[in-house]
Amino acid sequence: MFGSLKALPADPILGLLAKYREDANPQKIDLGVGVYKNEAGHTAVLDCVKKAEKYRLDNEDTKVYIGPTGSPLFNDEMAKLIFGNHKVLQDNRTRTVSTPGGTGALRVAAEFIKSCKPGATIWVSNPTWANHTGLFQAAGLTVKTYPYYDYENKSLDFDGMLAALKQVSADDAVLLHACCHNPSGMDLNQEQWQQVADVAKSVGFLPVVDMAYQGFGDGLDEDAYGLRLMANSVEEMIVCSSCSKNFGLYRDRIGATTIIGKSSAAVDIAYSVLLYVIRVIYSMPPAHGAALVETILSSDELRHEWYNELSEMRDRINGNRRLIVDKLKENGVTRNFDFITEQKGMFSFLGITPEQVQQLQDEYAIYMVGSSRMSIAGIANSNVDYLAQSIAKVL
């Protein structure tokens, strides 16, 4: 059976990380992997998570099966985080399930869409997170792209995006990044969200919103602004959330899929299908991460602490954006990199050639993916001078 297989290339980002780890240069910088790092370059467990883990250790008294939906308290808290006090919650038009990370949330959404319409097409932004295409195709969906990032002008190709979305069929799904677009850092503004919502309503496609970075852009509510606006306009929608970044729970694998239906009765039918989809893939989601998140969100004290820790992560990322742009100027770089300060979240494209990316790696031990996507959290006060000088030399 295995003899017919051809080896697949390793994931380029993981390959890059392995190379970085082997590099003996003491000045090496990792701008590849998309995880938050503090000033010391460490991805630490949040203090609020440590406290929630202590609480669970003292209070958890069973590991019995929990069911395909996961923990109802986690699901309720996640729905509130996503929608605030939006009418869709008051109208009981949403159902949320816990999933193994944001990836699991997307795969469950994809399988659910397949149950609605086998072979359906989903449109993703060009570019998009590298795993979107593979996971949607693996679920049997057809993947097509709409224009998004204008590499030349380092801006959003909004006209191209809107024109493409107007051509989408009512039977299709469209994937939108809620905030902190991966890989470009280029987000829609409020007016643009309204225009996309108007098109979604008039065309009738299903919006699938991927929110992997809530709180990393402008704030918890600010980052959900677009999807809440979308929920005002459309009758059906899916939101896929991840707690990997904003709770720092990467390896605990916790996220959520939320479906919005036309009515409470209609969404109940969809929900029964969603539960079946889960049952036949992994039966039930992991519970530990959900237990931590619900413990944090349902405690005033821990929630407050989380809010502060999340704000600190966001402020550091935004500060790093300013820092690198200022340092490039200080080092005599005349090319305009101001766009980096206007973009949001973990990533921006530096906008240099693949050869220059390779030169940064070979000569300066600075690691970023070939597209020149930089993970902004890898910048620190201790390495930014060396980084800016190296970029200046390569330019």
| Stretch of 39-47, 64-72, 96-104, 154-162 lying at the interface with ligand PMP (CB under 6 A) | 96-104
According to CB under 6 A, which one of 101, 127, 261, 286 is a site residue for ligand PMP? Answer: 101
Alpha helices in 97-186 (DSSP H): 101-116, 130-138, 158-166
How far apart, in whole angstroms, are the C-alpha atoms of residue 217 and residue 202? 29
Cα dihedral: 43, 180, 297, 236 (round 10):
-140
Q: Are strands 121-126 and 347-349 parallel, antiparallel or unpaired?
A: unpaired
| Stretch of 95-103, 137-145, 196-204, 214-222 lying at the interface with ligand PMP (CB under 6 A) | 95-103
What is the Cβ-side half-sphere exposure of residue 382, based on CA atoms within 13 angstroms? 10
Q: Are strands 149-150 and 142-147 parallel, antiparallel or unpaired?
A: unpaired
Q: Considering the complex, what minimum distance in angstroms separates the CB of residue 144 from ligand PMP?
A: 18
Q: Considering the complex, what minimum distance in angstroms separates the CB of residue 351 from ligand PMP?
A: 20
| Stretch of 97-105, 114-122, 305-313, 333-341 lying at the interface with ligand PMP (CB under 6 A) | 97-105
Q: Rule CB under 6 A: say whether 241 interacts with ligand PMP.
A: no
> Which tokens belong to 177?
């990044």
Q: Rule CB under 6 A: say whether 244 interacts with ligand PMP.
A: yes
How far apart, in whole angstroms, are the C-alpha atoms of residue 165 and residue 168? 5
Is the Cβ of residue 185 or residue 261 nearer to ligand PMP in the bound state? 185
Q: Give the sign of the dihedral formed by CA 369, CA 374, CA 378, CA 379.
A: positive
Q: Rule CB under 6 A: say whether 348 interacts with ligand PMP.
A: no
Q: Rule CB under 6 A: say whether 255 interacts with ligand PMP.
A: yes
| Stretch of 7-15, 46-54, 101-109, 332-340 lying at the interface with ligand PMP (CB under 6 A) | 101-109
173 pairs with which residues across the strands?
122, 206
SS3 104: helix
Q: Considering the complex, what minimum distance in angstroms separates the CB of residue 52 from ligand PMP?
A: 18
Residue 46 CA: distances (Å) to CA of 35, 52, 108, 308, 381: 13, 10, 28, 10, 21
Q: Rule CB under 6 A: say whether 103 interacts with ligand PMP.
A: yes
Is the Cβ of residue 181 or residue 327 nearer to ligand PMP in the bound state? 181
**Hey, which residues are catalytic here?**
129, 210, 245
Spacing of C-alpha 353 from chain mean position: 25
Q: Which residue has the tokens 């990533």?
A: 347
Q: Rule CB under 6 A: say whether 127 interacts with ligand PMP.
A: no
Is the Cβ of residue 375 or residue 390 nearer to ligand PMP in the bound state? 375
Is the Cβ of residue 34 or residue 185 nearer to ligand PMP in the bound state? 34
How far apart, in whole angstroms, are the C-alpha atoms of residue 31 and residue 368? 5
The DSSP line for 228-254 is: HHHHHH-S-EEEEEE-TTTS--GGG--
Q: Rule CB under 6 A: say whether 349 interacts with ligand PMP.
A: no
Is the Cβ of residue 95 or residue 177 nearer to ligand PMP in the bound state? 177
Q: In this structure, are residues 215 and 312 in contact, taking their beta carbons and an 8 Å threshold? A: no
# chain residues binding ligand PMP, by CB under 6 A: 12
Peptide bond into 183 cis (omega under 30): yes
How far apart, in whole angstroms, are the C-alpha atoms of residue 80 and residue 293? 13
Q: Rule CB under 6 A: say whether 246 interacts with ligand PMP.
A: no
The mark string for 195-224 relative to ligand PMP (x by CB under 6 A, - otherwise) is: ---------------x-x------------
Q: In this structure, are residues 225 and 190 in contact, taking their beta carbons and an 8 Å threshold? A: yes
The mark string for 23-52 relative to ligand PMP (x by CB under 6 A, - otherwise) is: -----------x------------------
Is the Cβ of residue 98 or residue 242 nearer to ligand PMP in the bound state? 242
Q: Rule CB under 6 A: say whether 129 interacts with ligand PMP.
A: yes
According to CB under 6 A, which one of 96, 182, 361, 375 is a site residue for ligand PMP? Answer: 182
Q: Contact residues for ligand PMP (CB under 6 A)? A: 34, 101-103, 129, 177, 182, 210, 212, 242, 244, 255
